[in-house]
Amino acid sequence: MNRDQLQKFVQYLITVHHTEVLPTAQKLADEILSQNSEINQVHGAPDPTAGASIDDENCWHLDEEQVQEQVKLFLSQGGYHGSGKQLNLLFAKVREMLKMRDSNGARMLTLITEQFMADPRLSLWRQQGTAMTDKYRQLWDELGALWMCIVLNPHCKLEQKTSWLKQLKKWNSVDVCPWEDGNHGGELPNLTNALPQGANASQDSSNRPHRTVFTRAIEACDLHWQDSHLQHIISSDLYTNYCYHDDTENSLFDSRGWPLWHEHVPTACARVDALRSHGYPREALRLAIAIVNTLRRQQQKQLEMFRTQKKGDCGRGCLYWNGIPELPHKSITSITNLEGWVGHPLDPVGTLFSSLMEACLTEDETFSGLPDFTENVGQCKSLEYHHLPAHKFLEEGESYVTLAVEVALIGLGQQRIMPDGLYTQEKVCRNEEQLISKLQEIELDDTLVKIFRKQAVFLLEAGPYSGLGEIIHRESVPMHTFAKYLFTCLLPHDAELAYKIALRAMRLLVLESTAPTGDLTRPHHIASVVPNRYPRWFTLSHIESQQCELASTMLTAAKGDVRRLETVLESIQKNIHSSSHIFKLAQDAFKIATLMDSLPDITLLKVSLELGLQVMRMTLSTLNWRRREMVRWLVTCATEVGVYALDSIMQSWFTLFTPTEATSIVATTVMSNSTIVRLHLDCHQQEKLASSARTLALQCAMKDPQNCALSALTLCEKDHIAFETAYQIVLDAATTGMSYTQLFTIARYMEHRGYPMRAYKLATLAMTHLNLSYNQDTHPAINDVLWACALSHSLGKNELAAIIPLVVKSVKCATVLSDILRRCTLTTPGMVGLHGRRNSGKLMSLDKAPLRQLLDATIGAYINTTHSRLTHISPRHYSEFIEFLSKARETFLMAHDGHIQFTQFIDNLKQIYKGKKKLMMLVRERFG
C-alpha cells in the first residue's frame, strides 16, 4: 500500500473498533513519535496475515466453542436447510488443516465427533430399530474415513496416537455408536489381514464383535510406516532392483525390477489417502503407482493360473464351493476378497483413481496447493495430459490417466459378494455409479481404448477373480451397470468384444436355482429361496432395472443385425425373470424398430413380438395389474409384424390369453375395420383371419361360456354354421353355468340381431335363475323381466302363456307383478307378428289362464307384502303404507269379485292389528 492507503487503513481500523483498540492505538502512536522508543529500534513490523515461519509448527487458533455450536446446530436441523452441506464443509476444513499439517485438524475432528456422538437421535433410532437416513450415514462414513487418515499420519508422535486410540475406543464402546454397515449386523474379519477364500471364510457372523464406524481407525493404530521397503517406495522415484527374479507370490519387485506393495488393498489405499491428506502428494502418488502395478501383476498371475487349472487335472471336474471352484491355497490373493473394493468404507479404488487424476492435473513439478480432483476433473479434457512426462514406473505410452482408468476398471470388474444390509448394498450401487460417472468425464483416446480392450479380455477370461468370468458365485454383485458402460465404450472400436462383455454380464444368478429355467410362470420377485442361508437382496429391483437397461442398450445397438439380435433375444429370455422388465424391453424394441425415419426393422419387430409373447405366457396365470395394457400392446405389435403374426397368436391363444382376453380384446381388435385397413388385406386374407377368429371364439365359449358367449356370437355373426354352434353352446351352458344377467344380455342381443324366438328361449331360461323377493322393488333385473314379458307378449298368446308361470314362480314383488299385469291387459298378444302383419286378436281375459294365475299371484303378493310391512312399521311410514294399500285395491278390483276380497282383507287387518290404533284409524278413514 502507498502512504495514503496505509493512513486510510489505520484510521478506518481504529474507527471500526474504537472501543477495543483506541488505548492501544494511542500508546503505539506515542511510541512511534518518540525517537528513542523500542519500536523505532526494530526494522519492519509483524505481519499476522503472513502465517507461521517455516520453522514454526503450524497451529492456528481454534475457536472450540464455535465449532461445537455449529456442529450441534447443523445436527439439530436433521440434514435439512443445507445442514448436511455445512457439515461436509467442516469435514473439508479438517482435510485442509491436515494438508497444511496444522495440528488443530485432529482437535477439530475430535470436537465434531463428540457432537455427533451426543446426537439424541442415535439412541432414539436404536430404541425404535429404525435406520438413520442415507445422508446422515454418509456423514458418519466420512467421519470414520477422516479418523483413519489421522491415525495413519506418517509423522505423528506415539503419544498422540495413543491418546487418539484411547478416545476412539471410548466412542467405540458406547452402545449407540453407529455400525459400519449401517444395519446393526454383518461383520468382517480384521481389516489388516487379507481375507481367506473358501468354506472357512463364511463363519457365522453373529459370534463376531460388531464393527463400528471407528473400528477401522482403531485397527489402523496398529499400522506403522517403519517398513524399509515401504519407506523406499514412497521416498524415491528411482527405487528399483533389476536383478530380482519375479518368481515368488509376494515378491518385493516385479520382473522389470519395479517395486511392488503387497498389503490388503483397502489398507494400502488408506495409506495413500493418509499421505495425500497430510500434504504428501508425491509420496502418495509413488505408493499408488506401486499398488496399481501390484494389482496388474496379480491379475496376470491369476489369469495364467486359471488357464493352467482349466487345462490341467482340474479340467471341468473341479470341486465347486457355492459356484467358485476350490482353487489351491497358494492362489488366494486379495483379489478374491469377500470384501469388495467398490462400495468399501475406505473407498480404495476411488482413492487410487483420485490420486492419479490429481497428478495428471499438476503440470509443473511442484505439487503446490492441489485443487480438489472432483471439482477439476473437467480440466483433464483440456489439458494435454498424455504428453506429461511419464513417471519412472509406467510402461511406454502410459500416463497417470491411463493408470487411473485401468485401476477403476480392475476395481469395477472385481468379483465380490453382495454385502448384507440395505445401506451397504445401496452404497455398492452408489459407489459404482460415482466411479463410472468420473470415468465418463475422460475422453477416450486410442491409448485408453487399448486399456479397455486389455481389461475386457482379462475380465472375460479371468475365472473366479472377475465378476465377468465364466464362473461366478451365485451371490456375487451383478455387473450390469459396469458392463453397460464398457459396452458403450468398446462398441465403436471392437463390437465383438463389446457384445461378449454385455452378454456375459446379463446373468442374475441369485434369481436362478429357485426353479428350473424352463419354468417361466414363477413370480419374478423372489429374492432368495432360502432366506436364512442367503442375505436378502434389498436392491434387487434396482439391479433388475439395470439388467433391463443393459439389454435395452444392446437391442438398440443391434438394430439391423439379425445374428446379434437373435443372440440378445436369447440372453433376455434366459436371464431376465421379471415380466414387467421383459414387457419394457418388448416396448423398447418396438419403438426402435418403428422409428419414423425409415421402414420398420422386421427382425427387431419380431424380437419385440417374441418378448411380448413371453410376457403373455409369464403373466397368464399370475395376477398383474398391467395385464390388459400388455394384451392390447401385443395385438398392436403383432399387427405391425403382419397378418401371419395375428393368425398365429389367435391359433395358439390358449397359451397366451384367458378366454375373456382372447375374445373381448384379441379377436375383436383383429376383426376391426381399422386392422383390415392398416394391413391392406385382400378378401382371401380377411376370410382366413375371420375363420381363425371364429374358431378361437367357439373354443373360448366352450371353455368360459359366462364371459365369452356374447363375444363369440358377435364374432360368428357372418358365418351361419359358426353362429348356430355358438348359440347351441349358450343353450347348453344356460342350465348350469350362466347367471340370469348374462342370459338376459345375450337374449337382448339376439332380439336386436333379429332372432326373437331365440331371444325368447334365452329369456325363459334366464327367468328360471331369477328370484325377486317381495321388497326388491328396485332390483336391476326388473327391467329385464318387463322386457322378457313384452317380448313374449309380442310373439303371441302361447309364448305369453308359457312365460307367465315362470314369472309367478320367480317374482314375489307385488308392484312388479301388477306392472306386468297392467301391460298385458292393455294390448292383444302377438299384435305385431314376426313379419309385421297385424293379428286381429282379442284382449286376453283376466278370468282365464294364464292371466288369472298372474292376477291371483299379484293379489297374493300384495297380501304377503302388507303383513310383512306391518310387522315392523313406524308412524312415519303410515301415510306411505296407506298409498300402498290404495295400489293394492286397484289390483284387487281387476278380479270380478275383487271388491269383496278387498273388504275382507281390510277387515282382517283391522282385527289382527287392532293394537296399532292410529294406523287403523287411518285405514278406516280411507277404506271404510
Average pLDDT over residues 553-573: 96
Q: Does residue 429 register a pLDDT over 50?
A: yes
Side chain identity at 579, as an amino acid letter? S
Which residue, chain included where needed, has cell 506403522?
224
In the prediction, which pLDDT does 204 show?
A: 42
Average pLDDT over residues 631-652: 96
In the prediction, which pLDDT does 57 show?
A: 52
In the prediction, which pLDDT does 692 show?
A: 96
Average pLDDT over residues 605-618: 96
In the prediction, which pLDDT does 216 show?
A: 93
Residues near 716 by Cβ (< 8 Å), separated by ≥ 6?
Answer: 694, 697, 698, 722, 723, 725, 726
Q: How confident is the model at residue 38 (pLDDT cuts 50, 70, 90)?
A: confident
In the prediction, which pLDDT does 817 show?
A: 95
> For the chain, what percent of residues have pLDDT higher than 90?
58
| pLDDT tens-place string over residues 890-911 | 999 999 889 999 999 999 999 9
Q: How confident is the model at residue 47 (pLDDT cuts 50, 70, 90)?
A: low
Q: State the average pLDDT for the chain.
A: 84
In the prediction, which pLDDT does 203 show?
A: 42
Residues near 637 by Cβ (< 8 Å), separated by ≥ 6?
Answer: 586, 590, 605, 608, 609, 612
> For the chain, what percent of residues have pLDDT higher than 70?
84
Q: How confident is the model at residue 53 (pLDDT cuts 50, 70, 90)?
A: low
In the prediction, which pLDDT does 421 show?
A: 81
CA distance 267 to 463: 25
Q: How confident is the model at residue 59 (pLDDT cuts 50, 70, 90)?
A: low
Residues near 788 by Cβ (< 8 Å), separated by ≥ 6?
Answer: 744, 747, 760, 763, 764, 766, 767, 803
In the prediction, which pLDDT does 9 show?
A: 85
Q: Which three cell numbers stand for residue 572?
A: 433376455
Average pLDDT over residues 641-659: 96
In the prediction, which pLDDT does 906 show?
A: 92
DSSP string, 366-391: --TTPPPHHHHTTHHHHTTGGGSPPP
In the prediction, which pLDDT does 244 show?
A: 61
In the prediction, which pLDDT does 50 show?
A: 56
In the prediction, which pLDDT does 310 show?
A: 81
Average pLDDT over residues 455-482: 91
Residues near 585 by Cβ (< 8 Å), separated by ≥ 6?
Answer: 548, 551, 552, 555, 572, 576, 611
Residue in 229, 225, 221 with CA at minimum distance from that of residue 258: 229
Average pLDDT over residues 510-534: 45
Average pLDDT over residues 297-323: 68
Q: CA separation (Å) from 353 to 409, 527, 615?
A: 10, 34, 43
CA distance 508 to 232: 45
In the prediction, which pLDDT does 914 show?
A: 87
CA distance 840 to 341: 99
838 phi and psi angles, rounded to 5 deg = -75, 130
Average pLDDT over residues 667-690: 93
Residues 787 and 760 sit within 8 Å (Cβ to Cβ):
no
Q: Which three cell numbers stand for residue 608?
A: 419385440
Range in 127-136, 390-399, 506-515, 582-591 with the lowest mean pLDDT = 390-399
DSSP string, 720-788: HHHHHHHHHHHHHHHTTT--HHHHHHHHHHHHHTT-HHHHHHHHHHHHHH--B-TT-TT-TTHHHHHHH
| pLDDT tens-place string over residues 870-890 | 988 899 999 999 999 999 999
| pLDDT tens-place string over residues 366-393 | 444 443 443 334 334 433 444 344 456 7
| pLDDT tens-place string over residues 326-377 | 443 333 333 355 678 999 989 999 999 999 998 887 644 444 444 344 333 4
In the prediction, which pLDDT does 308 show?
A: 86
In the prediction, which pLDDT does 82 show?
A: 77
In the prediction, which pLDDT does 197 show?
A: 36
Between 271 and 1, name the one with better pLDDT.
Answer: 271
Q: How confident is the model at residue 51 (pLDDT cuts 50, 70, 90)?
A: low
Between 691 and 101, name the one with better pLDDT.
Answer: 691
| pLDDT tens-place string over residues 398-418 | 889 999 999 999 999 999 988
Q: CA separation (Å) from 875 to 238, 586, 917, 920?
A: 112, 68, 11, 12
Average pLDDT over residues 716-725: 96
- Secondary structure (3-state) at 523: coil
Range in 38-52, 232-246, 575-589, 799-813 with the lowest mean pLDDT = 38-52
Q: Quote the distance between the C-alpha of residue 547 and its chain's center.
A: 11
In the prediction, which pLDDT does 257 show?
A: 87
Between 210 and 793, name the one with better pLDDT.
Answer: 793
In the prediction, which pLDDT does 526 show?
A: 37
Average pLDDT over residues 644-653: 96
Q: Does residue 608 register a pLDDT over 60?
A: yes
